[in-house]
A = this chain, B = another copy of it.
């Protein structure tokens, strides 16, 4: 398969990049009434979305039976469009796609994004045959296929979206490549609310001709992209991925979430994208050797991207931790330890300086610090941040705030953090986190309603797994005990 990719590259002069983001797009498979023959993909909605969100290029609807679509002139085929297209988006049913590829080849279309499903991912003979037919026609015709079975992309700078329910994302420095359209969609849905701006988000479906590495290389060269995020299930050419990532890492961080590293996950990946998932050991070596940043969930990926966007380089992973309340401080220390974030003792100078203005009554002045009084006193807090900033044992400051702080109860405390990061004394930076983010929030309330009806609904999947395992473990213990007795 990797050889075939090489052939594509040779024939096309480069895999992905030239002509992207597209200056011109045709939508092929666009009904007048909006009823798509392909479940989940609707050419009319895509067309409408691109137009309404203000796509910055030229847009052409293609429908042999219509003269116009939503007031725009419609074309019978891509060959009738009076310019060489950068992109055709195809939503016709799978059996009709090879014919469209022929047309695109004849019209000199650069990329064909095949939304349609019904190819290799079905595992059925007909789907595999159709996929092979696509590949042959595309290779012969000099057309590069994105997909098939692919939800597409989002490029804020050109106001391009193939996710009409999400629209165009806020522009920013995070580039996303995802083997799963669902994960791409979820990432995009949440990026804006997290305050993450995107340079481009690209899902690539079955990855028939263009694979993760091609898109990663594109983002590496893209000046708008400062951080690259990648969701992978499997890859065709591990060596090429490793070499590419290793080459890119010194220029910008590459965050990789590898799905399917457990037994059950890898079985799901095989059935989702037909991927051979690879072992935990192989991927651990991959991360170590390439410098790719490992994350294990979508949320971790987004938070790592956010941290890279917001923080300048950190000299190390030794944190000064400041929280409120003894129990909360113990918990914060444990959470740091489990995430391998060091919480060293302060230097003798810092230890001498802090008691000069921080009372030890009901407070703990060693690291991790329990300083409720200080956190509610902006003047003392500002001073404490500055004293800790000059400690040579400390690389970064981390403040643990109760949820009320996030909900606006400690305005001046937040201002002290804002001012600190603006001035960044001794080059140090501060991050903050909510220490008690569970319980009486929107989602938990909804979960409670399900529970009141008899369904134990958990706000997180991890939480459910842990809790079920604990219940099972308890009864397993009782069972063993009975046997011994």
| A455 and B432 in contact, given A117-B362, A406-B446 (Cβ under 8 angstroms) | yes
- Residues of B near A33 (CB, < 8 A) are none
Question: Is there contact, CB below 8 Å, between A398 and B468?
Answer: yes
- Residues of B near A194 (CB, < 8 A) are 439, 444, 447-448, 451
Contact of A364 (CB < 8 Å), options: B268, B341, B442: B268
| A291 and B448 in contact, given A455-B431, A456-B311, A465-B335 (Cβ under 8 angstroms) | no
CA distance A403 to B481 in the complex (A): 40
Q: Copy number of this protein in the oligomer?
A: 2
Closest to A360 in B: B122
Question: Is there contact, CB below 8 Å, between A432 and B338?
Answer: no
- Residues of B near A422 (CB, < 8 A) are 454
| A457 and B333 in contact, given A249-B478, A439-B194 (Cβ under 8 angstroms) | no
Question: Is there contact, CB below 8 Å, between B437 and A460?
Answer: yes
| A291 and B477 in contact, given A321-B264, A439-B190, A459-B437 (Cβ under 8 angstroms) | yes
Indicate if A331 sits at the interface (CB-CB under 8 A): yes
Indicate if A262 sits at the interface (CB-CB under 8 A): yes
| A306 and B406 in contact, given A122-B360, A272-B329, A398-B464 (Cβ under 8 angstroms) | no
| A313 and B475 in contact, given A331-B298, A459-B434 (Cβ under 8 angstroms) | yes
Closest to A337 in B: B262
Contact of A193 (CB < 8 Å), options: B122, B233, B307, B439: B439
| A433 and B463 in contact, given A194-B444, A303-B458, A326-B268 (Cβ under 8 angstroms) | yes
| A268 and B329 in contact, given A440-B190, A454-B422 (Cβ under 8 angstroms) | yes
Question: Is there contact, CB below 8 Å, between B327 and A182?
Answer: yes
Question: Is there contact, CB below 8 Å, between B396 and A343?
Answer: no
Question: Is there contact, CB below 8 Å, between A461 and B330?
Answer: no
Indicate if A388 sits at the interface (CB-CB under 8 A): no
Indicate if A34 sits at the interface (CB-CB under 8 A): no
- Residues of B near A180 (CB, < 8 A) are 325-327, 330
- Residues of B near A468 (CB, < 8 A) are 307, 311, 314, 317, 319, 341, 396, 398, 431
Question: Is there contact, CB below 8 Å, between B261 and A334?
Answer: yes
List 14 A–B pairs whose Cβ atoms lie within 8 Å, in order of A's numbering: A186-B439, A190-B439, A195-B452, A250-B478, A262-B334, A298-B331, A298-B436, A306-B456, A310-B456, A314-B472, A407-B442, A417-B455, A418-B454, A421-B454
Question: Is there contact, CB below 8 Å, between B406 and A440?
Answer: no
CA distance A470 to B311 in the complex (A): 12
CA distance A454 to B420 in the complex (A): 9
Question: Is there contact, CB below 8 Å, between A414 and B366?
Answer: no
- Residues of B near A462 (CB, < 8 A) are 335, 338-339
| A326 and B273 in contact, given A267-B333, A299-B463, A334-B264 (Cβ under 8 angstroms) | yes
- Residues of B near A414 (CB, < 8 A) are 450, 453, 455
